[in-house]
Structure formats: structure tokens, C-alpha cells
Structure 1
Amino acid sequence: MEKRHLVGWMISIVFVLIAGCATDPAQRQAVLLQAEHKAQYTKALRSIEGHDGEYPARVLRGMEQLKSMAEQGYAPAQFKLAYYYYTGPASYDCLKQDTKEAYYWFGKAAEQNHREAQYEFAMLFNPKSGLKQYADAEKYVYWMQKAADAGYAKAQYALGRMNEKGEYVPQDVALAKELFEKAAAQGDGQAQRALKRLGK
């Protein structure tokens, strides 16, 4: 069993143990539901990534499982589904790119404070490198700020660059350095190089 899937299985067991200790029935039900979602999510990823059946049937089956979970509101599934819709054949040649679906599901996960989804959602709005039909500087900054505030290093670096250059936001080199420091502390190489460039 791959390390990531083993970790997912162990987390599910922990959720079940926590549920057993919960005294409030509603809390117990919520914990068990979360454990079930985690187990289903792990199963879907195993199917997509080549551990459960023949290609391409396993990938398409895994996508159906992800979509079912996404429709139930499970943010990690919404994010992963959006990722596969966005990358399409770049991930698996049996998948078609669907930017409308990617936009929809990245947005759903972002609204649930999934920080990586917030970053990817922001990138769709990037007036320079995002999708032309969604280009919107205000939304780009808004969602990048949300992801940065949530501690996502890539977003902290991206927001730092905006502040350093005065792009889409007022120029603020001091704030840029602060954001670079936060990202660099998490091991982000681009942020570390930016600090060296700024002489810090």
C-alpha cells in the first residue's frame, strides 16, 4: 500500500475512534460521515492512479466516484475533480479537458476554504496567464489573498510578487518581504530566492 493511501486509511481509523468517544450523537454522526468520505476519496484516487482495475475503465470509474463525492460537498473531492477536469489529457489521455467544470468545482472547494483550491481558482482569474474568459484582476487578488491568509506558500509568494511589483495592488515592498518570509519558512524556493534578491 502506498504511503499516501496508508495515511488515508489510518486517518479514517482515527475518525472512527474519535466518533466512539463522542458523546453528542450529532457530533458522532459528523465524524463518521467524515471518515466515510475519506475512505471513499482514497478509494477513488486508488482507482484513478492505477491500483484498482484496468486502464481506462479504472480512471473513468474513479472520476465518477469523485464527482459523486463532490456533489455531496466534500471539498477535497471537489478540488481533485476540478484538477482532473482542468488538466484533462495532460493527466490521463482518456480524460477531456473541461474548463467550465474545472471553474465550477475549484470555486466550490474554494468557498469551503480549501486553500489549494483557492490558489488554483485565483489562477484562473489571472489576467496574464489564466483563462481569458475568466480574466478578472479583482477576483485574482481576492482569492490569492484568501489562500495566502490560509497559509498556502504558493499563494503567499504570488501575492508577494504582486506587492513587490505593484501589479493589481498598490506597491508595498515591505509587505512583499513579509509574504516572502512566510512562504520561505515553508520551504518555498521561489520565495527564498526573492528574499535573496531583495537583500534579506
Structure 2
Amino acid sequence: MLARASVSLAMLALASMAHAQQPPAVRPAAVQSSANQIPASELTITNDELAVDQWTNGRVRDALKIWMAQAKTGDADALYNLAQAFRLGIGVKPSEQAAAGLYKKAALAGHPSANERLGILLYKDPSRRAESVEYLERAAGGASVRAHYILGVMRVRGEYVPRDLAFAQLHLQCAVDGGVESARRPLAQIRMEMTPADKSRAIALVTGSPLK
């Protein structure tokens, strides 16, 4: 049996509101942390770059007010940035539920990183892990190496997806190619377990040949 691969927040570099619900209100920040905990590189430049400038200069609540106004119009970047704030509890009371709802809205609005963030957030909650598959698969389709890694581990375990070593190898190889060093060990282990049929299917997945 393969060792159970761990998927920690540090390793993954981390990283539900109803759709009709408005973004949650900014709370007085007794829990507020430094804006430096989310560097500007982790934010998306919105239509109004003033918000990012305010954020990086420590005017967190002013930035959040701008994003909340933009989020009401369905702005994907603003929704994503609000989700980042709620996930880490910067300027607002931390809430993974609120963050998940906002990431989901951002993903539906077309934000390129929202599926990955949402999938990882749901995966780390055992009670919502089954929900993570849909968003991780979308993120992997967008070349997220972290999503590939988690999906590879899930395929090895047969966790909420059928156990399939050919698919596991595909995902884990993508993760390794993308620099996820933690994917090397499970990849080496499954290659020792793969049957000739598994290896043929793995080649077919890479080449696009019909699966048998």
C-alpha cells in the first residue's frame, strides 16, 4: 500500500455563501492582521488599482470597501481579493465559509485562480472534500500544478474518485514537472505498482490515443 501523502497548507503555498447573498460586511478589525500577510502578488489588480495601492499601504478597510462595491457588480477580481481577505482574516473576521462562497462566485465570473483556491480550501475540510473534486479538476484543466498533485493523491487513494493509477501518474507527473517536489515519492511508488495495462492506459492519456 502506498503511504498516505499529506497535503498541508504550507506545502500547497496557501493557500458557503448562497449566490444571491451580498459579500459579507467588513467587521471592526479586532482580529485584523497586517496587510503584508497578503502581498500584492497574491491579489488581482482590479479595475480600480487604488484598492491594491491602499491595501499595500496598510489601508486595508478602505481597500475592502472598494472591492465590496465592485463585487456587487460581479467583478471577478474583486470577489477573489475579498475571498483572500476572508480566508486569512485580514480586515475582516476570518471565515472559510465566506471565503469559499466568494471564491465560487469569482470562479463562475471567470477568475483564473479561483477554482484552485476553492478546491484546496474545500479539500482541507474533510466534510467538504467530495465537493473539492469538481473545482480541482477545473483548476488542473487550467494547468494548476497544486490541483494536479491533490488529484493524483486522490486517485491513488480512491478518495471520492475511482482509484486509477494511470490517471494518478498523469496528475503526479504534471505536478512534478511543475515543481511540486512532494509529488515525486508517490509517483515513484505507483510506477512500481502499475500493471502493463495501467502503463498502456497512462501512455494513451498522454498521447490522446483511445483508452482501452
TM-score scaled by length of structure 1? 0.65
Going by fraction, where is helix more abundant, 1 or 2? 1
> Between Structure 1 and Structure 2, how many residues are aligned?
151
User: Unpaired segments of 5 or more residues in structure 2?
Assistant: 1-39, 193-212
Which amino acid in structure 2 is aligned with residue 47 of structure 1? Q
State the partner residue of 2:102.
Answer: 105
Query: 1:66 and 1:113 mapped to 2: Cα distance?
Result: 16
* Deviation, structure 1 residue 152: 1.0
Query: 1:38 and 1:195 mapped to 2: Cα distance?
Result: 39
* Deviation, structure 1 residue 175: 0.7
State the partner residue of 1:47.
Answer: 54
Query: 2:75 and 2:179 mapped to 1: Cα distance?
Result: 29
Which amino acid in structure 1 is aligned with residue 54 of structure 2? S
Q: Once the two structures are aligned, what percentage of the paired residues are identical?
A: 26
State the partner residue of 2:145.
Answer: 153
Which amino acid in structure 1 is aligned with residue 66 of structure 2? Q
* Deviation, structure 1 residue 154: 0.7
Q: CA 1:39–1:112 in structure 2 vs 1: closer, same or farther (change >3 Å)? A: closer
Q: CA 1:83–1:166 in structure 2 vs 1: closer, same or farther (change >3 Å)? A: same
State the partner residue of 1:114.
Answer: 111
User: Unpaired segments of 5 or more residues in structure 1?
Assistant: 9-36
State the partner residue of 2:88.
Answer: 87
Q: CA 1:147–1:199 in structure 2 vs 1: closer, same or farther (change >3 Å)? A: same
Map 1:70-85 onto structure 2 (within 5 A). 70-85=71-86
CA distances 1:6-40 after superposition (whole Å, capped 9, x unpaired)? xx9xxxxxxxxxxxxxxxxxxxxxxxxxxxx7451
TM-score scaled by length of structure 2? 0.61
Query: 1:39 and 1:125 mapped to 2: Cα distance?
Result: 28
Which amino acid in structure 2 is aligned with residue 189 of structure 1? E
* Deviation, structure 1 residue 194: 3.4
Conserved? CA contact 2:51–2:67, under 8 Å = yes
RMSD after superposition: 2.6
